[in-house]
Amino acid sequence: MEIIERKTLKEKPAENEPLGFGRYFTDYMFTMKYTAEKGWHDAKIEPNEPKPFDLATSIFHYAQGIFEGMKAFLQPNGDVAVFRPEENWARMNRSAERMCIPQFPVEVVQEGLEDLLKLEKDWIPKRAGTALYIRPTIVATRVMLGVHASTEYLFFIILSPVGSYYTHGLEPTRLLVEDYYVRSSLGGTGEAKCLGNYAASMKAGELAEEKGFDQVLWLDANEKKYVEEVGSMNMFFVLDGEVITPSLVGSILPGITRKSCLQILRDKGYRVSERRISIDEVIEGAENGTLEEAFGTGTAAVISPVGLIRYRDKDYTINGGKMGSVTKMLYDTITGIQNGTFPDEYGWRKIIR
Ligand code: COI
C-alpha cells in the first residue's frame, strides 16, 4: 500500500507516563475515500495530521458516521497481535448498512491496518494493562445541507496508545441506573456503532459524573424496566450461580468482548443465559444476597467489575465492592489471550508480521 512519509516524527510518551485513554495519537493513519462514481478508492497510509474540512460537510450537521474500537498487543516474542479484527469489520459493515453508508472492502482495510501497525509498532506500549487502541471510522464528507445519505465518505484508522479506560483502573466502577433519559429504542440505532448514539448518551453521563458515578446503566426505552448496557460496555450479572447478560434485542450493541466472554463461560461449564433481565431482578438479588457479581465488557473497558449500583436514590453494593471470581477469571483469560501469555485456543489473536 502507498505510504506518504512525514518529515518529522512525534515524540512518544515516556514508558512510565500514565497514558489514560485516547490522549496520544501515532504518526500515521490509514485513509480511503468513497465517491459514487469511483466507489471506495485511494487507500493509503499518510501522516496523521489535521485535515481541512468545509464547514458544510455533512458529518458536522447530521452525524452520518460510524466507528469501531480494537486493540493491538505486543506479544512476548515481539510479534503484534490484534484481537478478533474480522469481528469488528463485520460489525462495522452492519453499522454501515444501518446508516446508509456503502459497504467497504474488508480485505483492503485489513491490509491497511496491518501496514499501519507494522509502521507504528514502536508506539505499542509495553506495560501491563496497556495496548495500542485502533479507531477505524467512516464519516460522510459530501458538502451539502440536504438531509440525505452522503455520496462521499472518508474511511480512516487512527491509533492511540492507551492505558485503562477508567481513571481508577481496575477498581470496581459505580453505575447510576438512568430511568429518565434513554440511549436507544427498538427500531433506533442502538445496535449500530454510530456517532449519534454516543452524543445522545452524554447528558445522562455528565449528570451521573457530577454525582460521582463512572457511567450510566441504561434501561430499555419502552418500559424502563429491563437492563440494556452501559454505553461503553455490555453488562453481565452473576445471579444465584447463573451468569446472565441482556439478550441482543435490537437496541444493544453486540459487543465482541461480550461474545468472547459468553464462549469462554459456556466452554468452562458455567450456567449462562442471554435473556432480558429486569432492574427489579438485579435489585432484589442485591437485597437478598443472590447477586454475586456484576461486570461490564468492552474493547476499551476490557472486563470492568461493578462495585455499586444506584437505583432510585438507593445504593446497592455488589460483592462488598470487590472484583468477584467470575470477573477475575474472564479478565485473566481475555487479557492472557490478548497479551500472548495464555494459549489461543479459539484463534482470536491475529498475528501481524
Ligand atoms: C470501545 O470499547 O472500543 C468503544 O468504542 C467504547 C467507547 C470507548 C466509545
- DSSP class of residue 232 equals S
Residue pair 277/177 in contact by the 8 Å Cβ criterion: no
Residue pair 98/189 in contact by the 8 Å Cβ criterion: yes
SS3 138: strand
What amino acid occupies position 9? L
Residue of 14, 45, 212, 194 lying closest to 116 (CA atoms): 45
Q: Where are the beta strands (DSSP E) in 163-285?
A: 173-178, 215-218, 234-239, 242-245, 271-274
Q: To the nearest whole number, what is the mean pLDDT of the chain?
A: 96
pLDDT higher than 80, residue 349: yes
Atom of ligand 1 nearest to the CA of 68: 5
Residues in contact with ligand 1 (CB, 6 Å cut-off): 69, 232, 298-300
Residue range 114-143, pLDDT digits in tens = 999 999 999 999 998 999 999 999 999 999
pLDDT > 70 fraction of the chain, expressed in percent and rounded: 100
Atom of ligand 1 nearest to the CA of 165: 8
C-alpha cell at position 139: 464519516
Residue range 197-242, pLDDT digits in tens = 999 999 999 999 999 999 999 999 999 999 999 989 999 999 999 9
pLDDT at 40: 98
How many angstroms does the Cα of residue 2 sit away from the middle of ligand 1?
Answer: 29
How many angstroms does the Cα of residue 197 sit away from the middle of ligand 1?
Answer: 12
pLDDT at 231: 83
pLDDT at 117: 98
C-alpha cell at position 282: 438485579
How many angstroms does the Cα of residue 298 sit away from the middle of ligand 1?
Answer: 7
pLDDT at 336: 97
C-alpha cell at position 240: 444465584
CA distance linking residue 340 with residue 101, whole number of Å: 35
Residue of 242, 248, 283, 290 lying closest to 266 (CA atoms): 242
pLDDT at 177: 98
pLDDT higher than 80, residue 252: yes
How many angstroms does the Cα of residue 233 sit away from the middle of ligand 1?
Answer: 8
Residue range 25-43, pLDDT digits in tens = 999 999 999 999 999 999 9
How many angstroms does the Cα of residue 232 sit away from the middle of ligand 1?
Answer: 5
Task: State the average pLDDT over residues 256-278.
Answer: 98
β-pair partners for 138: 66, 155
* 157, 235, 299, best to mutate for ligand 1 pocket (most atoms within 8 Å of CB): 299
pLDDT higher than 80, residue 85: yes
**∠ CA 191-193-194, rounded to 5°:** 110
Q: What are phi and psi of 305, to 5 degrees?
A: -65, 145
Residue pair 168/178 in contact by the 8 Å Cβ criterion: no
Q: Which residue has the cell 445541507?
A: 145
Task: State the average pLDDT over residues 238-251.
Answer: 97
pLDDT at 13: 95
pLDDT higher than 90, residue 353: no
SS3 258: helix
Measured over the CA atoms of residue 89, residue 84, residue 271 and residue 177, the dihedral's sign is: negative
Angle between helices 85-98 and 106-119 (to 10 degrees): 130
Long-range contacts, stretch 206-210, CB < 8 angstroms, 24+ apart: 208/176, 208/178
pLDDT at 245: 98
SS3 36: coil
Atom of ligand 1 nearest to the CA of 299: 2
pLDDT at 167: 78
Residue range 148-206, pLDDT digits in tens = 999 999 999 999 999 988 877 778 999 999 999 999 999 999 999 999 999 999 999 99
Task: State the average pLDDT over residues 86-111.
Answer: 98
